Amino acid sequence: MTTEPDPSTDVDPEGVSQELIDRVVHGDRSALAELFSIYRPRLWRMVNFRLHGSLQGRIDPDDVLQDAYLSAVDRIGHFLSAATSSPFIWFRMIVNQTLIELHRKHIGAEKRSANRERSINSGPAVDSTSSSLAFHLMAQLPSPSSAVQKIELARQLEVALQGMNDIDREVLTLRHFEELSNSETARVLGMSEQAASARYVRALKRLKQILELIPDLAANVRPS
């Protein structure tokens, strides 16, 4: 995993101009396309992380982004009131909604069935954020000696991650995997920047504790 970002840093790496935002406000679809293109690498990273493991390799993140862009075009009239303070967060919200619909369509029925079985045999099901965290953390491991070992490690990690506080798990995802700034994370979670920064530090500490409980993971995965 990469080095922990500085929680005090909040620089817009895209350098989006106010002139471009104003054009979108006035309904310029070519400006909307240009703005979406600027943010596309960051949105792609989000989709690649949050796409359910069972859909990895089956669903192209670029197709998800195309659907999200068409939705943004349909909603350009709402840009003035919803996005001028943070266009990226507006696009991210639309992409997230697109992903939710995609998951509901492709794995909703299957997941509900699996969840009912888990509720009978082993308690509540692990949520999608835990699944995504486990999937991407496992990807950093050297190939286990057997498929059975890999499945067991993934199961242990997913269950352990489910034990994290929901907000801590989400702030870790936003800051570390989606690489949002502290200010952007605060906007997504509806909290102050100070609170978002503190929760990120807390989440990293908790993740380290979780990894230490699973020796095979602790030896290979570094959260910071």
Q: What are the structural domain ranges in the chain?
A: 15-125, 126-224
**Reported confidence tier of residue 110, pLDDT bands at 50, 70, 90:** low
pLDDT digits (tens, 9 = 90+) for 85-109: 789 999 999 999 999 998 888 876 5
pLDDT digits (tens, 9 = 90+) for 112-143: 554 444 333 333 333 567 777 777 777 766 66
pLDDT digits (tens, 9 = 90+) for 150-205: 777 777 777 878 888 889 889 988 998 898 999 999 999 999 999 999 999 998 88
41-45, 79-83, 96-100, 135-139 — which is least confidently predicted? 135-139
DSSP states along the chain: -PPPPPTT----TT---HHHHHHHHTT-HHHHHHHHHHHHHHHHHHHHHHS-GGGBTTB-HHHHHHHHHHHHHHTGGGHHHHTTT-HHHHHHHHHHHHHHHHHHHHHHHHHHHHHHHHHHHTSSPP-HHHHHHHHHHHTTSPPPSSHHHHHHHHHHHHHHHHTS-HHHHHHHIIIIIS---HHHHHHHHTS-HHHHHHHHHHHHHHHHHHHHTSHHHHTT----
CATH 1.20.140 is the classification of domain 15-125: no
pTM of the model: 0.73
Q: 126-224: what fold?
A: Arc Repressor Mutant, subunit A (1.10.10)
**Reported confidence tier of residue 1, pLDDT bands at 50, 70, 90:** very low
* Fold match, 15-125 / 126-224: no
